[in-house]
Amino acid sequence: MRLMLLLAVLLSAITTSAGAAEKVTLRLGDVKGDRFISLRESGQLNNLPYDLKLTAFDSGAPVQEALNAGALDVGFTGDLPFLFVYAAGAPVKAVGAWQNNPDSIALLTRSDSGIHSLNDLKGKQIAVNQGGWGHYLLLGLLDRAGLKPSDVTLRFLGPVDGRAALASHAVDAWATWEPYVSSAVVVDQDILVPQGGGKGILSGYSYALAREDALKDPQKRQAIADLQARLAKAQVWASQHPEAFAQALAKSLDMPEKITQRWISSAQIRPVDFTPKLAETLQQSADFFYKKHVLPKAINVQNAFDYSLAAQANQIADSQETKHE
C-alpha cells in the first residue's frame, strides 16, 4: 500500500512537472513574412521559450480580420488598417511598434500614363487599398495638389490586383508600399510620381497588435513581451546586415535579389520607442480619415494601446537612437 501511494505521488509530481513545462503557443500573423524572416536570420528564433506559429498575408487588412476572428494572438501590420477594426470594436490593442521610411509608401504610374506631377492626377483612375496606407497617401497627395477626392476615380484593390491593374492599363496610377513598390519599379519599370511619397503625410509606423484575451493570459503576455524584444533586435541586425537580409528575403519569398535590395534600402525599418506619442500620431490619422468620410465615425484611440509589454523593446530602440545622435 505504501509503495502504491509513493508511486501515485511520484506520478502526480511528474504529470504536474510535465504540464508546467509545456510551451505556450503564440499564433503570429505577418505581412509578407519579412519580420519573421529577420527574426529567423538574426538567430532570434533560437531557443524560444514558447512555440511560434506563423501565417503570412499579402496586406494588413486580412491580418486584422484574422485577429478579430480569434485566429491569431499577435499580428504585425501598418497603423492605418488597425483604425478600422478598432473602430468596429475588435478586441485588440497595439503593444509595440517600428517605423518604415514614409517615402517607401508611394504613388506609382507607368511612363506612358501622362502623369508627370500631382496636378496630372485629375481625371485619372487610381488603385488603392481601401482604408490602408495607399488610401491615406492618395488623399494626402490630393490635398497637397489642391485636388478633391471627386477629381479622381478610386479603385479599391489589394496590392496584387493593384499591380495587375496598373500593368494592364485598367488604372493610371497605384498607391502602394514595399515590397510592392520595388517589385513594380524593378520588374514592370513603373515610375514614382514626383512628390508622390509619404513623407509629410504618413507616419510610417507599424504595430504589433495583440488580442485582449491573449493579453489576459500570463504566459502569453510574457511571450509577447519577449517576442517584441527579439523583433527589435532582429530589425537592428537587418539594418546592419542588408546584404545578408536581402539574400534571405529573396530566397524565402521567391523574389529577385534586386527587388529585396531596393526594398531594404527604401524601407529603412527601425524599432521605435513605444510611448503615448504614437497614440497622438494615430489620432491625427483617425481624424483625417473621418474628415475624408473614410472612417464612419470619429474615434478616440487612447485606449487602443497597451504600453506595459514594451519595456525590453524600448531599451533596444533607445540604444539605437542614442547611437544615431
* Cα 165 from Cα 170, distance rounded (Å): 5
Structure confidence by residue, pLDDT tens digits, 289-315: 999 999 999 999 999 999 999 999 999
Q: Are residues 107 and 94 in the same domain?
A: no
Phi, then psi, of 207 in degrees rounded to 5: -125, 150
Q: Are residues 135 and 90 in the same domain?
A: no
Q: Is residue 9 part of a domain?
A: no
Structure confidence by residue, pLDDT tens digits, 89-100: 999 999 999 999
Q: Is residue 104 scored above 60 in pLDDT?
A: yes
Structure confidence by residue, pLDDT tens digits, 242-290: 999 999 999 999 999 999 999 999 999 999 999 999 999 999 999 999 9
Write down which residue in 148, 181, 197 finishes a domain: 197
Q: Which residues of 245-274 are buried (b: 16+ CB within 10 A; e: fewer)?
A: bbebbbebbebeeebbbbbbebbbbbbbbb
Q: Is residue 7 part of a domain?
A: no
Structure confidence by residue, pLDDT tens digits, 159-206: 999 999 999 999 999 999 999 999 999 999 999 999 999 999 999 999
Average pLDDT, the chain: 91
Sign of CA dihedral 288, 59, 254, 224: positive
Whether the CB-CB separation of 245 and 264 falls below 8 Å is answered with yes
Write down which residue in 143, 170, 197 finishes a domain: 197
CATH number of the structural domain spanning residue 52: 3.40.190.10
Q: Are residues 32 and 66 in the same domain?
A: yes
Q: Are residues 64 and 111 in the same domain?
A: no
Domain count, the chain: 2
